Amino acid sequence: MQAEIKIRLKNGISDPEGDNIKKALLLLGFDNVIRVKTLKSYIIEIDCEKKDDAIEEIKDICDKLLANPVIHDYYIEIIE
Amino acid sequence: MQAEIKIRLKNGISDPEGDNIKKALLLLGFDNVIRVKTLKSYIIEIDCEKKDDAIEEIKDICDKLLANPVIHDYYIEIIE
Protein backbone atom coordinates (compact mmCIF):
# COMPACT_ATOMS: atom_id res chain seq x y z
CA MET A 1 0.00 0.00 0.00
CA GLN A 2 1.28 3.46 -0.87
CA ALA A 3 0.60 6.60 1.12
CA GLU A 4 1.49 10.21 0.56
CA ILE A 5 2.33 12.26 3.62
CA LYS A 6 2.36 16.04 3.50
CA ILE A 7 4.10 17.89 6.28
CA ARG A 8 3.54 21.60 6.52
CA LEU A 9 4.29 24.34 9.00
CA LYS A 10 1.44 25.21 11.34
CA ASN A 11 -0.27 28.54 10.83
CA GLY A 12 1.70 31.31 12.47
CA ILE A 13 5.07 29.57 12.15
CA SER A 14 7.35 31.56 9.87
CA ASP A 15 8.46 29.96 6.61
CA PRO A 16 11.76 31.63 5.68
CA GLU A 17 12.31 29.30 2.72
CA GLY A 18 8.96 30.31 1.24
CA ASP A 19 9.65 33.98 1.93
CA ASN A 20 13.00 33.79 0.18
CA ILE A 21 11.52 32.01 -2.83
CA LYS A 22 8.93 34.77 -3.06
CA LYS A 23 11.71 37.41 -2.99
CA ALA A 24 13.63 35.55 -5.68
CA LEU A 25 10.50 35.32 -7.85
CA LEU A 26 9.87 39.06 -7.51
CA LEU A 27 13.48 39.70 -8.56
CA LEU A 28 12.97 37.43 -11.58
CA GLY A 29 9.98 39.53 -12.61
CA PHE A 30 7.08 37.43 -11.35
CA ASP A 31 5.37 40.47 -9.84
CA ASN A 32 2.01 38.85 -9.18
CA VAL A 33 3.22 36.26 -6.69
CA ILE A 34 1.42 36.91 -3.39
CA ARG A 35 2.65 34.11 -1.15
CA VAL A 36 4.85 31.01 -1.27
CA LYS A 37 4.59 28.21 1.28
CA THR A 38 6.83 25.19 1.39
CA LEU A 39 5.86 21.65 2.29
CA LYS A 40 7.76 18.43 2.56
CA SER A 41 6.11 15.31 1.19
CA TYR A 42 6.95 11.65 1.43
CA ILE A 43 5.61 8.67 -0.45
CA ILE A 44 5.85 5.60 1.75
CA GLU A 45 5.17 2.12 0.48
CA ILE A 46 4.32 -0.31 3.28
CA ASP A 47 3.39 -3.94 3.33
CA CYS A 48 -0.03 -3.70 4.99
CA GLU A 49 -3.36 -5.16 3.87
CA LYS A 50 -5.86 -2.94 5.65
CA LYS A 51 -6.19 0.77 4.95
CA ASP A 52 -6.96 1.64 8.57
CA ASP A 53 -3.90 -0.22 9.84
CA ALA A 54 -1.76 1.53 7.25
CA ILE A 55 -3.05 4.95 8.34
CA GLU A 56 -2.42 4.15 12.01
CA GLU A 57 1.11 3.00 11.26
CA ILE A 58 1.88 6.05 9.14
CA LYS A 59 0.57 8.35 11.89
CA ASP A 60 2.98 6.60 14.21
CA ILE A 61 5.82 7.10 11.70
CA CYS A 62 5.02 10.81 11.48
CA ASP A 63 4.87 11.23 15.24
CA LYS A 64 8.10 9.33 15.85
CA LEU A 65 10.29 10.47 12.97
CA LEU A 66 9.00 12.74 10.24
CA ALA A 67 7.08 15.56 11.88
CA ASN A 68 7.78 17.88 14.76
CA PRO A 69 4.44 18.32 16.56
CA VAL A 70 5.44 21.76 17.85
CA ILE A 71 5.68 23.31 14.40
CA HIS A 72 4.20 20.84 11.90
CA ASP A 73 0.80 19.62 10.81
CA TYR A 74 0.66 16.50 8.67
CA TYR A 75 -1.84 14.98 6.28
CA ILE A 76 -1.95 11.36 5.14
CA GLU A 77 -3.52 10.18 1.91
CA ILE A 78 -3.63 6.54 0.86
CA ILE A 79 -2.82 6.39 -2.86
CA GLU A 80 -3.43 2.70 -3.56
CA MET B 1 -5.35 31.75 -7.35
CA GLN B 2 -3.52 29.05 -5.42
CA ALA B 3 -1.51 26.26 -6.97
CA GLU B 4 0.30 23.33 -5.47
CA ILE B 5 3.54 22.29 -7.13
CA LYS B 6 5.08 18.91 -6.46
CA ILE B 7 8.70 18.41 -7.41
CA ARG B 8 10.03 14.87 -7.36
CA LEU B 9 13.13 13.12 -8.52
CA LYS B 10 12.90 11.46 -11.92
CA ASN B 11 12.81 7.70 -12.03
CA GLY B 12 16.31 6.29 -11.79
CA ILE B 13 17.72 9.21 -9.82
CA SER B 14 18.82 8.07 -6.38
CA ASP B 15 17.01 9.51 -3.36
CA PRO B 16 19.46 9.27 -0.44
CA GLU B 17 17.12 11.16 1.90
CA GLY B 18 14.36 8.62 1.28
CA ASP B 19 16.81 5.73 1.66
CA ASN B 20 18.02 7.06 5.00
CA ILE B 21 14.48 7.58 6.27
CA LYS B 22 13.73 3.99 5.34
CA LYS B 23 16.80 2.82 7.29
CA ALA B 24 15.76 4.89 10.31
CA LEU B 25 12.24 3.46 10.17
CA LEU B 26 13.58 -0.10 10.07
CA LEU B 27 15.75 0.70 13.12
CA LEU B 28 12.66 2.07 14.90
CA GLY B 29 10.89 -1.22 14.29
CA PHE B 30 8.71 -0.38 11.28
CA ASP B 31 9.68 -3.59 9.52
CA ASN B 32 7.05 -3.49 6.80
CA VAL B 33 8.28 -0.29 5.13
CA ILE B 34 9.22 -1.16 1.56
CA ARG B 35 10.21 2.19 0.06
CA VAL B 36 10.34 5.88 0.98
CA LYS B 37 10.47 8.64 -1.61
CA THR B 38 10.82 12.32 -0.83
CA LEU B 39 9.17 15.18 -2.64
CA LYS B 40 9.29 18.92 -2.21
CA SER B 41 6.03 20.81 -2.52
CA TYR B 42 5.20 24.47 -2.77
CA ILE B 43 1.91 26.29 -2.49
CA ILE B 44 2.06 29.46 -4.55
CA GLU B 45 -0.63 32.11 -4.45
CA ILE B 46 -0.59 34.32 -7.51
CA ASP B 47 -2.76 37.18 -8.63
CA CYS B 48 -4.04 35.77 -11.91
CA GLU B 49 -7.62 35.51 -13.18
CA LYS B 50 -7.38 32.72 -15.74
CA LYS B 51 -6.46 29.18 -14.82
CA ASP B 52 -4.52 28.61 -18.06
CA ASP B 53 -2.44 31.75 -17.54
CA ALA B 54 -1.72 30.69 -13.96
CA ILE B 55 -0.55 27.26 -15.10
CA GLU B 56 1.69 28.79 -17.77
CA GLU B 57 3.23 31.18 -15.28
CA ILE B 58 3.82 28.47 -12.70
CA LYS B 59 5.47 26.26 -15.32
CA ASP B 60 7.76 29.19 -16.03
CA ILE B 61 8.47 29.57 -12.29
CA CYS B 62 9.36 25.87 -12.04
CA ASP B 63 11.64 26.00 -15.07
CA LYS B 64 13.43 29.16 -13.95
CA LEU B 65 13.74 28.64 -10.20
CA LEU B 66 12.21 25.66 -8.43
CA ALA B 67 13.04 22.55 -10.47
CA ASN B 68 16.20 21.20 -12.01
CA PRO B 69 15.11 19.65 -15.33
CA VAL B 70 18.01 17.21 -15.29
CA ILE B 71 16.81 15.42 -12.18
CA HIS B 72 13.29 16.63 -11.38
CA ASP B 73 9.78 16.12 -12.67
CA TYR B 74 7.12 18.53 -11.52
CA TYR B 75 3.32 18.48 -11.29
CA ILE B 76 1.07 21.50 -10.98
CA GLU B 77 -2.40 21.42 -9.49
CA ILE B 78 -4.63 24.48 -9.22
CA ILE B 79 -6.29 24.41 -5.81
CA GLU B 80 -8.68 27.35 -6.14
* Each residue's pLDDT tens digit, A39-63: 999 999 999 989 999 999 999 999 9
Query: Which CATH number fits the domain A2-78, given the four candidates 3.30.1280.10, 3.40.50.10490, 3.40.50.2000, 3.30.160.110?
Result: 3.30.1280.10
pLDDT of residue A44: 96
Query: B41 and A39: CB-CB below 8 Å?
Result: yes
ipTM above 0.90, yes or no: no
* Each residue's pLDDT tens digit, A10-27: 999 999 999 999 999 999
Question: Which of B18, B35, B65 is opposite residue A24, by nearest beta carbon?
Answer: B65
Query: B39 and A44: CB-CB below 8 Å?
Result: no
* Each residue's pLDDT tens digit, B42-61: 999 999 989 999 999 999 99
To probe the interface with A, which of B2, B21, B31, B32 has the most A CB atoms within 10 Å? B32
Reduce the secondary structure of A21-51 to three states and give it as a string.
Answer: HHHHHHHCCCCCEEEEEEEEEEEEEECCCCH
Does residue A80 carry a pLDDT above 90? Answer: no
Q: What percent of chain A has pLDDT over 90?
A: 95
With CA atoms as reference, the chain B residue closest to A39 would be B41
Spatial contact of A9 and B49, defined as CB atoms under 8 Å apart: no
Mean pLDDT of B56-69: 96
Alpha carbons within 13 A on the beta-carbon side of A55: 10
pLDDT of residue B80: 80
What average pLDDT does the structure give for chain A? 95
With CA atoms as reference, the chain B residue closest to A40 would be B40
